[in-house]
Amino acid sequence: MAPPLLILRDIHLTFGATPLLTGAELSVSEGDRLCLVGRNGSGKSTLLKIAAGMIEADKGEIFVQPGRTIRYLPQEPDLSAYETVLDYVTAGLAPGDDPYRAPYLLEVLGLTGKEDPKSLSGGEARRAALARTLAPEPDILLLDEPTNHLDLPAIEWLETELKSLKSAIVLISHDRRFLENLSRATVWIDRGTSRRMERGFEHFEAWRDEVFDQEERDQQKLAQQIKREEHWMRYGVTARRKRNMRRVRELADLRDKARSHRGPQGTAKLAATEGETSGKLVIEAKAISKGYGERSIVSNFSSRIQRGDRIGLIGANGAGKTTLLKMLTGELEPDSGTVRLGTNLQMVTLDQKRENLNPLDTLATVLTGGRGDTVILGTETKHVMSYMKDFLFAPEQARTPVGVLSGGERARAMLARALASPSNLMVLDEPTNDLDLETLDLLQELLSDYEGTVLLVSHDRDFLDRVATSVIVSEGNGKWQEYAGGYSDMVAQRGDGVTARKAEKAAKAEKAPAPATTEARSSSKVKLSFTQLHLLKTLPETVENLTKKLEKLQAEMADPNLYAKSPDRFAKLSAEITRLTGERDAAEEQWLELEMLREEAEG
């Protein structure tokens, strides 16, 4: 077995007076696909930064195999020292790295590389950081929430890209489907220490519950043992003094052990303050359209949303999800068509950007609306300290400005405020951002039990599958189509997932009529993209590798006794040969097309 590439052993770190890590460990070997899980504030990101050399631990051992490279994806990248995004990404390349990787990754992630870093949005900066991290193809990738600010096409592309890399990967994410598809082992950061399971994230929750159940049984046994020893102290027959003193010390040790035990971190208590019952019809849209200039955002869309429906809106970034949402809720007038809202609607909105949180307001002010120390929950009131506790806030955070809270804490504050308002229509724009997995579970249960209506924008496939009764999907060119069920049901009905807008543009270009004359064609300039140049370089090797694999499988298939010896092996070989042949033929065809384009570009 090969030695680990990276080892963190007995890591301790304290912030202020609060110990964060008290003996955490991490070991990364070649080919590892580790997911790092734990509650918000458990120290996952901190441990990743220690592994990347960005934070120094108070105590512990760190070993990196000599000559091995590590790349870390930060949640808040700093591009201020670079003139362009491409400069920032290529600065992460080392001598010998493929220079085409940087522009290729930027193009896939929706950037040109010419952007001024000072003008980037938070999402664009994150995508640039992702390109910089992936471009060198390092020995170890440390990825902290890589799907943040990515739309569904980009998330699914990233899954495929990471699966194809030889790098070992340590991954933090709130996206369940992403973790399930990529991880092969799980490291759980809990109460300052770490546990490791050699299975992927899909088995994590059952494992976690087993650990908590065993801890509870151990604590019950400890309590019974203390009770027996205390009974002996009070009523036991006096024996030799030395023996008695030993038992007194043992009892003191047992009591210390019971006092020092930290139970599982508390669970948020989510409950929506439901308003009066709305009418059966909530929203009726008839042939609504909206466009900006020549671009159609929504074209001739109709839908009838009834009380109790939970509708997911799905599309690539820029497809127009927010525009459609605003038209459905009456905030934006359509260019044509009509939207009719039902009777007695009480709407509450959760904004993904947290923009309607004043960073100078204290947490208590945000939750109470500035009305003293009580939170109004419909017809009831609750003290703000008690309500904060329901959402896992400490009492001392009541006077903390929300601007200094972490992303996860701001998400919980927004959620707490939204759920306090009486409603029968919830409009949730990316509600899963920055929430830990346990809080996501509770939010899913809350929305499933909510008697009102939910309009939901999300790129979280698992969340959509668990919550949505139907989804409205962008089909491109302003067309929106409704499908019954969640994301997986939509894929089954549609045949594929969400496509990026640039893919639509490429399809349009392919369908455009050819130039009328040879003269017109020769006058047009043909220029290969960075992606096409990269493929021209790599496709010959891809074809060769596929051919070698096929030759090896076909040699095994040539055994005349194979079917008699192992029908299962024969079937698997046949299927694999068919698959690889298709891949090779497609690669060869793409290679030939690109060669023709190259010849045309060269004159």
* Ligand-binding site membership of 43 (annotated): yes
* Ligand-binding site membership of 315 (annotated): yes
DSSP 4: P
The rounded distance, in Å, linking the Cα atoms of 505 and 477 is: 10
* Ligand-binding site membership of 582 (annotated): no
* Ligand-binding site membership of 356 (annotated): no
- Taking each helix axis from N to C end, the angle separating 437-449 and 407-420, rounded to the nearest 10 degrees, works out to 20
The rounded distance, in Å, linking the Cα atoms of 71 and 52 is: 7
Are the CB atoms for 142 and 52 separated by under 8 Å? yes
Six-digit token string for 93: 């390349």
CA dihedral 42, 48, 50, 55 (to 10 degrees): -80
Report which residue type is found at 564.
A
**Phi, psi dihedral angles at 9 (to 5 degrees):** -130, 130
* Ligand-binding site membership of 370 (annotated): no
User: Is residue 22 within a helix (H) or strand (E), and if so which, with residue range?
Assistant: strand 18-28
Rg for the chain (alpha carbons), in Å? 29
* Ligand-binding site membership of 566 (annotated): no
* Ligand-binding site membership of 371 (annotated): no
* Ligand-binding site membership of 39 (annotated): yes
* Ligand-binding site membership of 44 (annotated): yes
* Ligand-binding site membership of 41 (annotated): yes
* Ligand-binding site membership of 322 (annotated): yes
- Mapping DSSP to helix (H, G, I), strand (E, B) and coil, where does residue 62 land? strand
Six-digit token string for 166: 């030889």
- If you write DSSP's letter for every residue of 384-430 in order, what string do you get? HHHHHHHTT--GGGTTSBGGGS-HHHHHHHHHHHHHHS-BSEEEEES
CB atoms within 10 A of CB 556: 12
The distance in angstroms from the start CA to the end CA of the chain is 54
CB atoms within 10 A of CB 318: 15
* Ligand-binding site membership of 45 (annotated): yes
Indicate left, alpha or beta for 184 from its phi (over 0: left) and psi (-120 to 50: alpha): alpha
The rounded distance, in Å, linking the Cα atoms of 392 and 238 is: 49
Closest CA to 331 of 422, 447, 455: 455
- Taking each helix axis from N to C end, the angle separating 204-235 and 241-260, rounded to the nearest 10 degrees, works out to 150
Report which residue type is found at 385.
M
**Phi, psi dihedral angles at 18 (to 5 degrees):** -105, 115
* Ligand-binding site membership of 466 (annotated): no
The rounded distance, in Å, linking the Cα atoms of 171 and 147 is: 11
* Ligand-binding site membership of 114 (annotated): no
The rounded distance, in Å, linking the Cα atoms of 173 and 150 is: 12
The rounded distance, in Å, linking the Cα atoms of 429 and 279 is: 24
Binding residues for ATP: 38-45, 315-322
Binding residues: 38-45, 315-322
